[in-house]
Amino acid sequence: MILQALLTAGAIAVTTSSHAETPAELSHLTEAVAPMSRHEVVPGDTLDSILSHAGIGVSLRTEAALAISDVFDLSTLSPGQILRWSVFSDDPCQLARLSLLTQDGTDIVLDFTKPLEASLIKTEILLRDRRETFILDSSLFEALAARNAPESFAVDLAALLAGQIDFRDLEGTERIALMWSENILPDGTVVGEPQLAYARVEKNTDIFELVTGSVEQPFILFRNGAQVQQSARPVAGARLSSVFGKRRHPVLGTQRMHTGVDYAARTGTPVSVTGAGTVVFAGTMRGYGRTIDVDHGGGVLTRYAHLSRFAAGIAPGVELNAGARIGDVGATGLVSGPNLHYEVRIDGKPTDPIKETPAPRTAIAKPTDRVMLTVARLSTGYFLRDDTGTES
Q: 189-210 pLDDT, tens per residue?
A: 777 778 888 999 998 889 999 8
User: In the prediction, which pLDDT does 166 show?
Assistant: 67
The mean predicted confidence, pLDDT, of the chain is 76
| 224-253 confidence digits (pLDDT tens) | 888 877 777 788 655 555 544 443 433 334
Helix H, strand E, coil C: the string for 45-90 is CCHHHHHHHCCCCHHHHHHHHHHHHCCCCHHHCCCCCEEEEEEECC
pLDDT level of residue 215 (50, 70, 90 thresholds) = low
User: In the prediction, which pLDDT does 258 show?
Assistant: 47
Higher pLDDT, 192 or 392: 192
Distance of alpha carbon 294 from alpha carbon 273, whole angstroms: 8
pTM, full prediction: 0.58
Higher pLDDT, 183 or 31: 183
Largest CA distance in the chain: 79
Of 47-51, 276-280, 314-318, 350-354, the least confident: 350-354
Is residue 295 within 8 A of residue 304, CB to CB? The reply is no
| Cβ neighbours of residue 135 closer than 8 Å, sequence gap 6 or more | 173, 174, 175, 176, 389
Distance of alpha carbon 156 from alpha carbon 23, whole angstroms: 50
Higher pLDDT, 109 or 160: 109
Is 179's pLDDT higher than 90?
yes
Q: Which of 75-84, 111-120, 165-174, 353-362 has the highest mean pLDDT?
A: 111-120
pLDDT level of residue 380 (50, 70, 90 thresholds) = confident
* pLDDT (average), residues 266-277: 86
User: In the prediction, which pLDDT does 292 show?
Assistant: 96
User: In the prediction, which pLDDT does 351 show?
Assistant: 66
* pLDDT (average), residues 56-73: 92
User: In the prediction, which pLDDT does 140 show?
Assistant: 82
Is 37's pLDDT higher than 70?
yes
User: In the prediction, which pLDDT does 51 show?
Assistant: 92
Is 1's pLDDT higher than 60?
no
pLDDT level of residue 172 (50, 70, 90 thresholds) = confident
DSSP string, 212-272: -SSTTSPEEEEETTEEEEEE--SSTTPEEEE-SEEEE-TTT-SEEEE-SEEEE--TT-EEE
* pLDDT (average), residues 363-374: 74
Helices 58-69 and 2-15 pack at an angle, to 10 degrees, of 60
User: In the prediction, which pLDDT does 388 show?
Assistant: 43
* pLDDT (average), residues 130-156: 84
Pairing of strands 319-320, 277-285: antiparallel
pLDDT level of residue 13 (50, 70, 90 thresholds) = very low
CA angle 207, 211, 213 (to 5 degrees): 170
* pLDDT (average), residues 57-69: 92
* pLDDT (average), residues 111-119: 90
| Cβ neighbours of residue 194 closer than 8 Å, sequence gap 6 or more | 150, 152, 153, 180, 181, 182
Distance of alpha carbon 288 from alpha carbon 278, whole angstroms: 20
